[in-house]
């Protein structure tokens, strides 16, 4: 009698153990896969869900307009923020010209902007402010939109859909982005992944405003400022000579795209001058 009860108890315990093991085999791998999903993959999933499928638009003109209209608000916002930074620096310059001392808040903000735009500023004076303002300046909306169309295949590229990358921007830390399928052996770069369209546009603009490769772009823009001429895509696009290994052919292609897409870019095809 006791033996029968003991056997029943052992059998019951065995069944429970088997059930627990079975549940672990079934459900734990799923949980582990969920926990090991990288932030990068999550970004990809977000990107796919938020980028419109422009290829679904049959009419070419409608597709182009939809693409520009999708990006335009982010471009406008970043240019507005840059213009505000530039106005502040101009205000500081006016104070110095009038021999007015700068308070601690002004000095702190100037230094923060210098750091943001990768400009080494040992002292705050009219000369250093002038150099900093060559970097803190807007970028013509039409040029941003056309480059985005060119680099992302009108928003249809894998990098745009999965990483909000509309400008072909690279990163160089392993796992920082998406590995290009066409990457040559020995190369380490990846295509950067961003949290949003705005982050992509902001990074692109900061790149043009800070990277030594685009010093010509900034020089052309500064010269237009001195001449009090509007900052147009048609003039500034020549400063992108180092954006692509194709160089002159790349510039010609962008100019051709600007000419053929004026009606979709208008009336924003010319960026107004900002002091």
**Residue spans per domain, the chain:** 2-36, 48-161+198-271
Q: Quote the pLDDT of residue 263.
A: 93
Q: Quote the pLDDT of residue 43.
A: 40
How far is residue 83's CA from residue 131's CA, in Å, rounded to a whole number? Answer: 16
Q: Mark the ranges of the chain whose per-residue pLDDT is less than 70.
A: 1-49, 170-190, 267-275
Q: Quote the pLDDT of residue 270.
A: 41
Is the pTM for the entire model greater than 0.85? no
φ, ψ of residue 231 to 5 degrees: the values are -85, 105
Q: Quote the pLDDT of residue 182.
A: 62
Q: Quote the pLDDT of residue 186.
A: 53
Q: Quote the pLDDT of residue 11.
A: 45
3-class DSSP string for the chain: CHHHHHHHHHHHHHHHHHHHHHHHHHHHHHHHHHHCCCHHHHHHHHHHHHCCCHHHCCCHHHHHHHHHHHHHHHHHHHHHHHHHHHHHHHHHHHHHHCCCCCCHHHHHHHHHHHHHCCCCCCCCCHHHHHHHHCCCCCCCHHHHHHHHHHHHCCCCCHHHHHHCCCCCCEECCCCCEECCCCCCCCCCCEEECCCCHHHHHHHHHHHHHHCHHHHHHHHHHHHHHHCCCCEEHHHHHHHHCCCCCCCHHHHHHHHHHHHHCHHHHCCCCEECCCC
State pLDDT tens for residues 154-199: 998 888 888 899 998 866 566 565 555 565 555 555 678 898 999 9
């Amino acid at each position: 009698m006791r033996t029968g009860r003991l056997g029943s108890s052992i059998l019951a315990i065995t069944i429970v153990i088997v059930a627990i093991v079975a549940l672990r085999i079934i459900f734990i791998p799923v949980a582990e896969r969920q926990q090991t999903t990288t932030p990068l993959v999550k970004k990809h999933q977000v990107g796919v869900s938020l980028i419109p499928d422009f290829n679904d638009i049959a009419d070419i003109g409608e597709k182009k307009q939809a693409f520009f209209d999708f990006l335009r608000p982010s471009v406008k916002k970043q240019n507005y923020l840059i213009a505000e930074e530039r106005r502040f620096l101009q205000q500081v310059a006016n104070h110095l010209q009038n021999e007015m001392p700068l308070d601690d808040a002004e000095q702190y903000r100037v230094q923060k902007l210098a750091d943001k735009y990768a400009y080494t500023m040992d002292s705050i004076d009219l000369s250093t402010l002038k150099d900093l303002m060559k970097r803190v300046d807007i970028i013509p909306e039409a040029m941003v939109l056309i480059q985005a169309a060119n680099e992302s295949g009108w928003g249809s590229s894998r990098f745009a859909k999965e990483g909000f990358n509309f400008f072909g921007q690279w990163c160089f830390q392993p796992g920082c982005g998406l590995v290009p399928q066409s990457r040559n052996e020995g190369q380490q770069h990846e295509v950067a992944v961003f949290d949003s369209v705005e982050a992509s546009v902001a990074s692109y603009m900061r790149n043009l405003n800070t990277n030594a490769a685009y010093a010509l772009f900034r020089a052309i823009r500064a010269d237009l400022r001195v001449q009090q001429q509007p900052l147009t895509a048609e003039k500034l696009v020549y400063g992108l000579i180092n954006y692509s290994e194709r160089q002159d052919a790349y510039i010609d292609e962008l100019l051709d795209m600007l000419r053929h897409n004026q009606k979709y870019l208008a009336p924003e095809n010319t960026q107004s001058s900002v002091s």
